[in-house]
Amino acid sequence: MRAAFITGGSSGIGFAAAMQLAIKGHDLALFARDASRLLAAREAILQEAPAVKIETYAVDVANEPALTDALEDALAKLGAPEMAIASAGIAQPGLFRAQSPDLHRRHMAVNYFGTLTFVQILSKPMAQAGGGHIGLISSGAAFFGIYGYGAYAPSKFALRGLGEILHLELADANITTTVIYPPDTDTPQLLEEKRTKPAATQKITEGGGLWQPEDIAARLIAGMRAGRPSVAPGFQMAALNRLGSLLSPLLRWHQKRIISQHNTQ
């Protein structure tokens, strides 16, 4: 059984996936910005899976040279992973005219280009090792334009497109690529997101319930092992995944109605 490499592995969906994979016997390479959170995550996992080997790397995935060095070190120590999950991400909602160009660039640097670097570095050694499974974490914001997500949604739209292409292009190397579209999930990122989310955006995005990261991680891992191109947990995400284009006119009307109500309050 080969290792699992996970960005954003110190909390949220990434940590939940790391825990589940470690319990099944996978050694781990975990990547996240905060060294103390990585250490805490490592200790928590070792309590449940004491036999696994865990390498940790305090790195910002938006820093391509640093991420490349970390991945190459992990490859040298653990070999090519069987499971590679890009879970690192940021979400800072706000209205377009109030958000800086730097904030837009930061979302793309972390959510898209951090994932891109991760996959580019790992796909060749994974192919040489006989294949594997790649998991990308997108969002319901990748299905249609949502008011207040001008910086965030484009990065998740981009991930959706990348994942669909990789599912086709990496197949001949026996590498599957799965994109998951989680509903609101009880993670530190969601708490941070709520700090700047406009009231209308909150109303627009409610309705999918609040999922636990363990449930999302389990569905992602199962989808990766089954070779599915996408996983859309819950009725709302499943409907958007299958019927997003057809529903777009209705969703635009719904948003405009909510925006108008909030702007007149």
12-23 vs 213-226: helix crossing angle, rounded to 10? 60
Q: What is the DSSP letter of 205?
A: H
C-alpha closest to that of 225 among 183, 163, 178: 178
Query: pLDDT band at residue 14, thresholds of 50, 70 and 90?
Result: very high
Query: pLDDT band at residue 158, thresholds of 50, 70 and 90?
Result: very high
Query: Would you state the pLDDT for residue 241?
Result: 75
Q: Where are the alpha helices (H) located in the chain, listed in sequence order? A: 12-23, 35-48, 64-78, 101-107, 114-128, 153-169, 188-194, 199-205, 213-226, 234-263
12-23 vs 35-48: helix crossing angle, rounded to 10? 30
Cα–Cα distance between 82 and 24 in angstroms, integer?
Answer: 13
Q: What is the DSSP letter of 94?
A: B
Q: Look at residue 185 and tell me whether its pLDDT is greater than 70.
A: yes
Query: Would you state the pLDDT for residue 100?
Result: 97
End-to-end CA distance of the chain: 58
Task: Find all residues with CB under 8 Å of 249, minimum gap 6, and list them.
Answer: none
Query: Would you state the pLDDT for residue 174?
Result: 98
Catalytic residues: 138, 152, 156
Residues 163, 241 contacting (CB under 8 angstroms): no
Query: pLDDT band at residue 252, thresholds of 50, 70 and 90?
Result: low
Task: Find all residues with CB under 8 Å of 256, minimum gap 6, and list them.
Answer: none
- Residue 50's SS3 state is coil
Q: Look at residue 137 and tell me whether its pLDDT is greater than 90.
A: yes
User: Which residue's structure tokens are 């990789």?
Assistant: 166
Query: Would you state the pLDDT for residue 238?
Result: 80
Cα–Cα distance between 115 and 112 in angstroms, integer?
Answer: 5
Query: Would you state the pLDDT for residue 190?
Result: 83
Residues 163, 177 contacting (CB under 8 angstroms): yes
Cα–Cα distance between 155 and 148 in angstroms, integer?
Answer: 14
